[in-house]
Structure 1
């Protein structure tokens, strides 16, 4: 079986369309069809079947596509192992949420420029679901994603990815207007319950914040009004200062005047950052260097 044909099947399983595969792999639809047909001949089983005007994978096609992910990862790993002691060189493509980019990636950029000048980093700011989609499409080599310990992510890494490697955790609290009054303290339910009649701020591109807020609110016996959505922490602060709502903010991050971050205890809220890579890619020397630096 010619392993060079396997990416066509993997992409067809992911995208569900010959035309989409052709666009992704920068070829023609007829070429994709020919590659799939040749792969079916080599496998000795039909891999696709008609589905209206389109095609879909047969059970054999789905099984081979699952094997193909592992096979291609093994090929990648073997290729990277051929020169394990060479001077690392290449572009490591990273997608991650803004806090991880600032906290984990930016501090190593200057060091890499001095110590590993042939390793280049490209950075794209995305929320976890978006980053994992890019990883699955092989548009990035590394995804920096997060969830909260109180509401573990329901996002399942794609078959082309390995399980996330924990990097760091950060405590989060409740961002409220700082009006000079005494800060509310006590268990998280009591702190959150104090703001039951306020509007609340969620994330515009990720449900994780809202899931945590709803969980805490349920322990305090109310349904939060999730009125606003903001992806930027700076914008969350602006909304708080304007009196438009309250929302989650990191405890250890300096905030602007007019904002107070109340600590949440019993239970605490912890954001957990992890690194996710494509199968077989973590042994690639440039990416291995980046992962070691992140650790």
Structure 2
């Protein structure tokens, strides 16, 4: 092997490919051409004398050798970045935590946890990014996130099948509810039978790749009518308030629901549950990340009371 002379740019490109899942997405994020990204990866594979990526029709996946290189590349790049900061006279970032979160976690859980952490450990700096589960999991694997708050639906499978398995901690398990316009006939009570949801118009998150359609009550025995699609949960709820359709919502978000929306429990059929899970790579958790994880746990428990 001849990895000693591999340029750091190749390591950064490789880490970006591992995180983004495709050469095209990595090239766009880095401002490179796809051919330039391909050349950097090919050069790294020659130096490692091993195939690091499995090329698939829908992107790339790390090979066992690729996972080894990625793990060590992350360490090398982090040390180089720390050295550059120290030489530039910038403050050390030992207290920085990089957190990823799924869409609806930003409504209540995330801001409350960050506010709580600021009160107890003001020196800890947290940077965050929103993303889908596949994107956040790849970022954890690539070492560009320390923690990720993920949403999970039955049957609550692991978020990926890579090795080693991610370390998962359930922060909360809540029932799924349905949000209806306050002027809708279904809003006359505080619950609705699942049969009454047939024939309704829905406001849903569009399906994309590995992410499934969200916003329609699961298990309806009909092809649902999707009147509007939106990724942002608040946009969906405001469309509901405007009378544009129904959508689903975890019970943990009820207090953030805008005026003009009534949230109902659903009777009949299987009980629908959703989990909020904190994911990370296995191994010792640095103290700043442990403090943030505890703040997320405490706030999630408070929201369930």
| Alignment TM-score, normalising by the size of structure 1 | 0.67
Report the alpha carbon displacement of residue 244 of structure 1 after superposing the two structures with TM.
1.9
Aligned residue in 2 for 1:193:
195
Confirm whether residue 175 of structure 1 aligns to residue 179 of structure 2: yes
Of the three residues 93, 98, 101, the one matched with 1:96 is 101
1:157–1:166: structure 2 CA closer, same or farther, 3 Å change rule? farther
1:245–1:175: structure 2 CA closer, same or farther, 3 Å change rule? same
Question: SS in structure 2 opposite 1:244?
Answer: coil
Aligned residue in 2 for 1:82:
none
Aligned residue in 2 for 1:244:
244
Residues in 2 aligned to 1:194 and 1:292: alpha-carbon distance in whole angstroms: 41
Give the greater-gyration-radius structure (CA): 1
Q: Which runs of 5+ in 1 are unaligned?
A: 41-45, 77-86
1:32–1:243: structure 2 CA closer, same or farther, 3 Å change rule? closer
Of the three residues 262, 270, 276, the one matched with 1:260 is 262
Of the three residues 272, 280, 286, the one matched with 1:269 is 272
Query: Are 2:110 and 2:296, in contact at CA under 8 Å, matched by a contact in 1?
Result: yes
Aligned residue in 2 for 1:83:
none
RMSD, matched Cα: 4.4
Query: Are 1:95 and 1:126, in contact at CA under 8 Å, matched by a contact in 2?
Result: yes
Give the paired residue count: 260
Report the alpha carbon displacement of residue 145 of structure 1 after superposing the two structures with TM.
0.8
Confirm whether residue 143 of structure 1 aligns to residue 148 of structure 2: yes
Report the alpha carbon displacement of residue 102 of structure 1 after superposing the two structures with TM.
4.2
Aligned residue in 1 for 2:117:
112
Alpha-carbon displacement from aligned partner over 1:136-155 (angstroms, at most 9, x marks no partner): 34332221110223x64685
Aligned residue in 1 for 2:46:
37
Report the alpha carbon displacement of residue 263 of structure 1 after superposing the two structures with TM.
0.3
Query: Which structure 2 residues correspond to residues 1-150 of structure 1 after superposition, within 5 A?
Result: 11=15, 14=18, 35-40=44-49, 47=51, 62-68=63-69, 89-149=94-154
Residues in 1 aligned to 2:39 and 2:241: alpha-carbon distance in whole angstroms: 58
Residues in 2 aligned to 1:159 and 1:10: alpha-carbon distance in whole angstroms: 18
Alpha-carbon displacement from aligned partner over 1:267-286 (angstroms, at most 9, x marks no partner): 32222111112344x52222
Q: Which runs of 5+ in 2 are unaligned?
A: 78-91, 298-305
Query: Are 2:3 and 2:47, in contact at CA under 8 Å, matched by a contact in 1?
Result: no
Alpha-carbon displacement from aligned partner over 1:105-158 (angstroms, at most 9, x marks no partner): 322334433543432001222232332233334332221110223x64685265
